[in-house]
Amino acid sequence: MSAKIISISNMKGGVGKTTISVALAQTLAMGSDNRPSAKVLVVDLDAQANASFWLCGHANLTAHIDQNTTIDTFLENAVVFGKSASLKDNVHSAKAHSDRLFVVPSSPHLRIIERELIVFLSRRHRNLLEVERVVSDLLEQQLQELGMLFDVIIFDTAPGISALTEAALRLSQVVVVPTVPDYISNLGLLSFCRTVSWTSNDPKTVIKRMPWVIANKVKQSKHHQLMLEQMRSASAGDDREFNMFRTEIPSSPRIDEIASNLDMDGELGFDSDGADVFSALAKEVLEVAGQISTTDTRAE
Ligand SMILES: Nc1ncnc2c1ncn2[C@@H]1O[C@H](COP(=O)(O)OP(=O)(O)OP(=O)(O)O)[C@@H](O)[C@H]1O
Ligand SMILES: [Mg+2]
C-alpha cells in the first residue's frame, strides 16, 4: 500500500474536523508550485455526512444514498450480510477537481448501521473491543486495494469515539486533532489523548502513535493566546501526550462562511489567507506522514 492514511479526529464536536478534512483534501488534490497534486480519497465516517454533502453536493449525495453506494451500506453488506463487498465500488468523484479528488460518502443511516453491527456481533458473543477489531480488519483489507489507487486517504470522523473512529485511528499514520485553544477544548483534548488506544494495527511493529494537534479558530484574544502557549509547552516535553503543528488556523468569517454552506459547487474558493494556511498545514502533514516510522512514533 502506498497511500498515506490520515485521520481527522477529536472527541469534541464542532472543532473543525470536517472543515480541515475537506480543505486538506482539496489542497492536496490541487497541488501548488512546490508540491505536486495528489490523488486524494476522503472516507466519511460520520453519520452527519457533512464532508459528503460538501464534496458531492446535495443532489449527487442523494443519488449515491438511493443507489446504496455509501459507507453504511458497505459495512452492512460486509459484516451483517457477509457479502464480499468492495469499498472501491462506493468511491465517487468529488464535484470539484473530480479527476484528483474522490469520496466514499456517508449517510444518516450510518448511525443505525453502527448500532446494528454492535447488536449483530454481540449476539455472536463478540465484546466491544472485538467489534472494533472486526471493523478495523475490514477497513484494513479495503485499504490494501484503495491504498494502491490513491496517494492520500483521509478519514473524517464523527465527534465522540466510536468503534469506527477507533478503527480509523488504528489504521492511520497521522492522526490530526483540530482543537480550539480554549480551556474547555483543552480538557477535551487531554481526555481524547488518554482514552483512545494509540496502538497501530500492525502486530509486528506495535507502534504507539501520538496525536498531532492543529490549533483551529484561533483568536488574538488573551485567553486563546495563553492557552496556545500552554499547549505548545505541553507538546514540547518528553512526557508529552500530543504533538502540535506549527501552523495555526485563524478564526475566520470567510472559512466559516464557506464551511457552513455545504452545497456550493464543491469548490472551496478561499482567499489567499485561507489557501496559504491550508497549504502550510498540508506541507506539515505530509512531512509527518513521511517521517512516521522514525521521529514521530515510540516503539513499545
Ligand atoms: N477556522 C475557522 N474559522 C471560523 N469558523 C470555522 C473555522 N473552522 C470551522 N469553522 C466553523 O465551525 C463550525 C464547525 O466546523 P466543522 O463542521 O468543520 O466541525 P466538526 O468538528 O467537523 O463538527 P462535528 O463534530 O459536528 O463533526 C462550522 O460552522 C464551520 O464553519
Ligand atoms: Mg464534522
Position 191: which residue type?
A: S
Question: What pLDDT sits at residue 174?
Answer: 93
pLDDT class for 265, splitting at 50, 70, 90?
Answer: low
CATH numbers and ranges of domains, the chain: 4-299 (3.40.50.300)
Distance 20 CA to ligand 1 centre (A): 8
Indicate if the pLDDT at residue 79 is higher than 90.
Answer: no
Torsion angle in degrees (nearest 10) through CA of 124, 130, 135, 137: -110
Question: What pLDDT sits at residue 17?
Answer: 97
Beta-bridge mates of residue 97: none
> Which residues crowd ion ligand 2, with CB under 5 Å?
17-18, 50
Alpha helices in the chain (DSSP H): 17-30, 50-56, 58-66, 71-75, 110-123, 128-149, 163-171, 183-195, 222-234, 253-260, 272-291
Beta-bridge mates of residue 137: none
For residues 40 and 154, the answer to whether their CB atoms sit within 8 Å is yes
- Looking at per-residue pLDDT, the higher value among 218 and 272 belongs to 218
pLDDT class for 262, splitting at 50, 70, 90?
Answer: low
- What percent of the chain shows pLDDT beyond 90? 61
pLDDT class for 7, splitting at 50, 70, 90?
Answer: very high
At a CB cut-off of 8 Å and minimum separation 6, what does 28 contact?
35, 37, 38, 40, 151, 152, 282, 286
Nearest ligand, CA 278: 1
Closest-CA residue, ligand 1 atom 9, reads 16
Q: Which three cell numbers stand for residue 289?
A: 506522514
pTM over 0.85? The answer is yes
Treating both helix axes as pointing N-terminal to C-terminal, what angle do 128-149 and 163-171 enclose, rounded to 10 degrees? 50
Q: How many whole angstroms separate alpha carbon 174 and alpha carbon 276? A: 21
Q: How many whole angstroms separate alpha carbon 161 and alpha carbon 196? A: 8
Question: What pLDDT sits at residue 75?
Answer: 93
What Rg, from alpha-carbon coordinates, does the chain have?
18
- What percent of the chain shows pLDDT beyond 70? 89
Residue with cell 473491543: 129
Instruction: Give the residue from 45, 281, 79 showing the smallest Cα distance to 154.
Output: 45
Question: What pLDDT sits at residue 126?
Answer: 79
Q: Give per-residue pLDDT as tens, 159-188.
A: 988 889 999 998 999 999 999 999 999 988
Question: What pLDDT sits at residue 284?
Answer: 96
pLDDT class for 200, splitting at 50, 70, 90?
Answer: low
Distance 10 CA to ligand 2 centre (A): 10
